[in-house]
Amino acid sequence: MEASRRGWVSWSSGKDAAFALGVVGASLDVVGLLTTVDAGSGRVPVHGVAHELVRAQARALGLPLHVVELPWPCPNEVYEARTGEALARARRDGVARLVFGDLHLRDVRDYRERSLSGSGVVPLFPLWGRPTAALATEMVQRGLRAVVTSVDPAQAPGELAGRWFDARFLADLPPGIDPCGERGEFHTFVVDGPGFAHAVDVEVGAPVERDGFVVAELSRR
């Protein structure tokens, strides 16, 4: 496949990134995952899952994981400098596309496009604009399995943390909560789905409060 069709996926460990990976699989030669990790805690920011679990996802997908370590709190100039270094390495490896799982937040998309401008890497948004209720249902129907790792209690009930992202979860969501958590209501960790050679077997701990979020701690079985 021509070098310009080689790509990485911006990998949060959650359902949107995983589903975007599945969507582009037929048209893009995905050769790696790009993720950020809090250097102090060893966790993926916001999603709160341990780096070890993200590496387990990468192994299950058979893809190299490219990690950008960040301080916390992280000044934007540090974030952009370190992700820029990762993108430069990607270009040297012939990568010209970076896939994002963003759905509707225009300011987030605009920022990603500005950040990649001039890098030689083109952003792709394969899920952009899709109705989230139908998309969430399609994720479940196509076999994507994910657990809700963190909930913003200011936007959604904290007891959603630790639940599986499945048809019952979607049916139980109170009115006003986006079924994909697009406004940050909740975040997920994918354990299985299209492209996974095997499931990532996790133990879901009891939810606790951490940094203003309700978090369900995950560990390997």
Residue 141 has pLDDT above 70, yes or no: yes
Highest mean predicted confidence (pLDDT) among 17-26, 68-77, 129-138, 201-210: 129-138
- pLDDT cut 90: percent of the chain above it: 78
Cβ atoms of residues 9 and 20 within 8 Å = yes
Contacts of 166 (CB under 8 A, 6+ apart): 140, 145
Q: What is the pLDDT of residue 99?
A: 97
Map 152-192 to HEC letters.
Answer: CCCCCCHHHCCCECCHHHHHHCCCCCCCCCCCCCEEEEEEE
Whether the full predicted model's pTM is greater than 0.75, yes or no, is yes
**pLDDT band for position 1 (cuts 50, 70, 90):** very low
d(Cα 202, Cα 147) in Å, to the nearest integer? 9
